[in-house]
Amino acid sequence: MNKQSRLTTYILIGLALGIVTGYFANSNLANPTGFADTMALITTLFLRLIKMIIAPLVFSTLVCGIAKMGDASAVGRVGVKTLGWFFIASLMSLSLGLVLVNLFRPGDALLGHMAATAAKADLATSSLTLKDFVTHLVPSSIVDGMAKNEILQIVIFSLFFGSAAAAVGQKANALIEALDGVAHVMLKVTGYVMKFAPFAVFAAVAGTIAKSGLGVLSTYGVFMAEFYFGIALLWALLIFIGFLFLKGRVFALMKEMRSPALLAFSTASSEAAYPKTLEGLERFGVRNRIASFVLPIGYSFNLDGSMMYCTFATVFIAQAYGIEMTLGQQMTMMMVLMLTSKGMAGVPRASLVVIAATLGQFNIPEAGMLLLLGIDHFLDMARSATNVIGNGIATAVVAKWEGEMDPPKTAEVA
Nearest Cα to Cα of residue 119 among 379, 367, 337: 367
CA dihedral 289→295→296→298, nearest 10 degrees, is 140
CA dihedral 327→329→333→334, nearest 10 degrees, is 20
Checking if the pLDDT of 127 tops 50, the result is no
Checking if the pLDDT of 397 tops 50, the result is yes
More confident residue, 398 or 64: 398
HEC sequence for 144-178: HHHHCCCHHHHHHHHHHHHHHHHHHHHHHHHHHHH
Residue 339: its pLDDT value, please?
A: 65
Residue 134: its pLDDT value, please?
A: 67
Residue 200: its pLDDT value, please?
A: 85
The fold for domain 3-114+124-402 equals Proton glutamate symport protein (1.10.3860)
Question: Would you tell me how many other CB atoms lie within 10 Å of the CB of residue 405?
Answer: 19
Average pLDDT, stretch 150-167?
83
Locate the domains of the chain by residue range.
3-114+124-402
pLDDT tier at 47, thresholds 50, 70, 90 = confident
Residue 341: its pLDDT value, please?
A: 65
Checking if the pLDDT of 93 tops 70, the result is yes
CA 192 remoteness from chain centre: 22
Residue 149: its pLDDT value, please?
A: 74
Checking if the pLDDT of 112 tops 60, the result is no
Distance CA 199, CA 54 (A): 20
Do 152 and 136 touch, CB atoms closer than 8 A? yes
Checking if the pLDDT of 121 tops 60, the result is no
Please list the alpha-helical segments (H only) found in 213-343: 215-219, 221-246, 249-267, 270-284, 288-301, 304-320, 327-340
pLDDT tier at 232, thresholds 50, 70, 90 = very high
Do 361 and 269 touch, CB atoms closer than 8 A? no
Nearest Cα to Cα of residue 105 among 325, 363, 382, 315: 315
Residue 236: its pLDDT value, please?
A: 96
- Strand, helix or coil for residue 286: strand
> Of the spans 36-45, 275-284, 287-296, which averages the highest pLDDT?
275-284
What are the pLDDT digits (tens) for 371-387?
A: 676 677 788 889 999 99
Checking if the pLDDT of 126 tops 70, the result is no
Average per-residue pLDDT for the chain: 82
What are the pLDDT digits (tens) for 326-353?
A: 888 898 888 878 766 665 554 445 676 6
More confident residue, 335 or 279: 279
